[in-house]
Amino acid sequence: CSAGSTKPMPCREQSAAKDTAFISIQAFPALLDLPQDLEVSAVSCGSRHTAVITRGGELYTWGWGKYGQLGHGNNISSDQARRVEHLVAEGLRAEEVVCGPWTTYVRVLE
């Protein structure tokens, strides 16, 4: 995003509360840094967040979290993929994920 400048600048998204949490907005493919032993079986992208399910049934999310759509029990945004610990604690296996603009829907098995 360049605002009147001839030099390209990376875009940043900041929360309305002007806290220190922000995320990168990238309009091009980027490598994802997940733990090396994880195999992704499903992925879904919202307007500003992403979710993946591993072959082991774990859910990882990252991106803009203003509305709690990352599933970590807070409104914090993150550029790093993080496992949704609530599903692990409840003994639930993620089977399917669909991200909407500000939501994430997960089908789970007990």
**Would you kindly state where each structural domain of the chain is located, as residue ranges?**
40-109
Q: Give the list of residues 6+ apart from residue 41 with CB closer than 8 angstroms, or none.
A: 53, 54, 55
How many angstroms separate the CA atoms of 94 and 91, rounded? 10
The reported pLDDT for the residue numbered 11 is 45
Mean pLDDT of the chain: 82
Contact between 5 and 11 (Cβ < 8 Å) = no
Indicate whether 5 pLDDT > 50: no
Write out pLDDT tens, residues 19-70.
455 566 666 777 777 777 889 999 999 989 999 999 999 999 999 999 999 9
Task: Give the whole-angstrom CA distance, residue 88 versus residue 79.
Answer: 21
State the pLDDT at residue 37: 81
Distance CA 92, CA 103 (A): 19
